[in-house]
A and B are shown apart, each in its own frame.
Chain A
Amino acid sequence: MRKEPIKEMGSDNRAQAIAQKIIANHCDRDYVSEGEIVNASVDIVLGNDITMPIAIEEFKKIGADGVFDREKVVMVPDHFTPNKDIKSAQQCKLMREFAGEYNIKNYFEVGSMGIEHALLPEMGLVLPGNLVVGADSHTCTYGALGLASTGVGSTDAAVAMATGKLWFMVPRTVKFIYSGDLNKWVTGKDLILYTIGLIGVDGALYKSMEFSGPAVSRLSMDSRFTMSNMAIEAGGKFGIFEVDDKTRAYLKERSDGNYEVLSSDADAKYEKIYNIDCSDIESQVAVPHLPSNAKSARDIKNVEIDQVVIGSCTNGRMEDLKIAAEILKGKRVNNNLRTIIIPATQNIYLEALKKGYIEIFIKSGCVVSTPTCGPCLGGHMGVLAGGERAVSTTNRNFVGRMGHPDSEVYLSGPAVAAASAIAGRIAIPEEVM
């Protein structure tokens, strides 16, 4: 890894990074400078069953006649759904009633809903050049499509729902250039865990992260979503990829092509540029209790586990299920653990069913769940007891994240998670295949 010196630009230099360009476009400006606070229009405002109840309360205090655009407010009950208890049911009811009252077009009921950050791109609701806010920290996921999206709180979501605008501080940009060949079983999750390990959980605090280089052009869209998704785990505001042929192919069935493709100017100012050689990166595991505690999975010996979770907004897409199926096919998961697989959306679930993955999972002793964030945040569908350990393809391994404060979460990609399910301890695919 090589750090290049920060490029100093003269005051007359108006070159911009993609984050600046998108924000400028949304406040009728040609140029915005880093650190400046602007009031910008947003294309989409998102909320879920945890953040929306407070947003609705705050929205009502504003006294607006309605939402700024009934087609641009998106509501997804995905965290504690299908309702895990009476209180969760009340929160969902509140959101459902609000959606009805304000005629919200994009309210996704259980049955059509999926995990929000897999669902919105799948539905073509977020497009290149957009500025998107969501009351969920992993809203940064959509940056994989060449747009600026970021997590905000409920009050911000309330204001954005009422006015269609929100205050933004224009971030500085940090660039990551990935080169070299990817090792077998290595996906976007390994790249992003390695990157967070390199820069730390506040290594990109308040910054826009730009992911680029010859290696990312070879990454699938699913892997790119995974990387953008975890920008927040390094403190990042955005995690942006440039639009390329793969992005266009992904969007072809999901949009009418009416979007604006932007990219950073060649002489844009970067606070830092990291060059990362992917051939150095093996399957990664982030050990408790920070996502930055990344290590090569092969170096972690004798860590026995009680549960494996494959799913979430980070790794519940087709690529993840395909890898898990490839490893689990014709094998049994270890008797001493539970393996929970959660396709992120109904469409992903259906496609996995058609491809025979679901049958592989069930025959190998896994349970397959309807889409939900559930266990990722210790909600339901796989909460850990005191002293228990899980390997999980989710995004956070903070104290108590998946349940009891004395439980532990080891973060990995789908390959290590599936291999560990068979081995009963943290393992790499080569050990079980």
Chain B
Amino acid sequence: MIIKDRVIKYGNNIDTDVIIPARYLNTADRRELASHCFEDLDKDFKEKMKEKKIIVAGSNFGCGSSREHAPLSIKESGIKAVIAVSFARIFFRNAINIGLPVIASEEAAKHIEDGDEIEIDLSSGVIKDNRSDGIFRINPLPDFIQKVIKSGGYINYIRDSVNK
């Protein structure tokens, strides 16, 4: 699968409180959550989203709360993938579990600039930056996590394994 789009770039330690502020956690409605995604970080997020659907960020992306509402609101907004130098562990698990592609690549995250058009080939494990023609290899994820991703999330994986 190839994900091709333009990039919105953010900094280090993007925490779950700015991804989806707690004042909106009185609902589990995906669309409502998405309507407030990144509201306290970037007031122009919704406008940018019209033309840029990949987020590239610094270290420790998704730090803070365990709220699955964070990756859910990003996914429901229409963001296709998040590349970061590193991810906070609960956010990373949650993203894998709900089927939001997350890629930790320091090299790519540092090289790619806001507005760049990039192509992510998840099956061959390569990110290409069409602005600079830069090519970045993605470290393969552990087998188990790849299986979860192939199933389309943890619930599907569990259902598949129960039904086998």
Chain A interface (Cβ < 8 Å from any Cβ of B):
37, 50-51, 53-54, 57-58, 61-63, 79-80, 84-85, 87-88, 91, 134-137, 139, 151-156, 158-159, 162-163, 167, 169, 201-202, 205-206, 232, 235, 237, 290, 377-379, 383, 396, 398-401, 403, 405
Contact = CB atoms under 8 A, between A and B. Distances in A.
Nearest to A89: B26
Nearest to A52: B28
Contact of A135 (B60, B66, B71): B66
A154 B22 CA distance: 15
A153 B28 contact: no
A132 to B, nearest CB: 13
Given A152-B90, A379-B22, 5 more contacts: A54-B69, A156-B97, A158-B155, A377-B65, A396-B17
A398 B15 contact: yes
Contacts, number: 133
Given A88-B26, A205-B88, A154 B68 contact: yes
A134 B65 CA distance: 12
Contacts of B69: 50, 54
Given A62-B155, A135-B66, A151-B66, A401 B17 contact: yes
Interface of B: 13, 15, 17-18, 21-23, 25-28, 40-41, 59-60, 63-69, 71-72, 86, 88-90, 93-94, 97-98, 142, 144-145, 153-155, 158-159, 162
A37 B148 CA distance: 13
B56 to A, nearest CB: 17
Contacts of B27: 87, 91
A237 B64 contact: no
9 contacts: A50-B26, A137-B90, A152-B93, A155-B153, A155-B155, A156-B93, A205-B89, A235-B60, A377-B65
Given A37-B142, A202-B63, A235-B89, A159 B41 contact: no
A205 B86 contact: yes
Contact of A51 (B23, B67, B145): B67
Nearest to B145: A37
Contacts of A85: 26
Contacts of B26: 50, 80, 84-85, 87-88, 91
A164 to B, nearest CB: 12
A53 B28 contact: yes
Contacts of B23: 378-379, 383, 403
Contacts of B162: 62-63
A156 B40 contact: no
B90 A201 contact: no
B67 to A, nearest CB: 7
Q: Of B66, B89, B145, which is in contact with the most chain A CB atoms at under 10 Å from its CB?
A: B66
Contacts of B18: 398-400
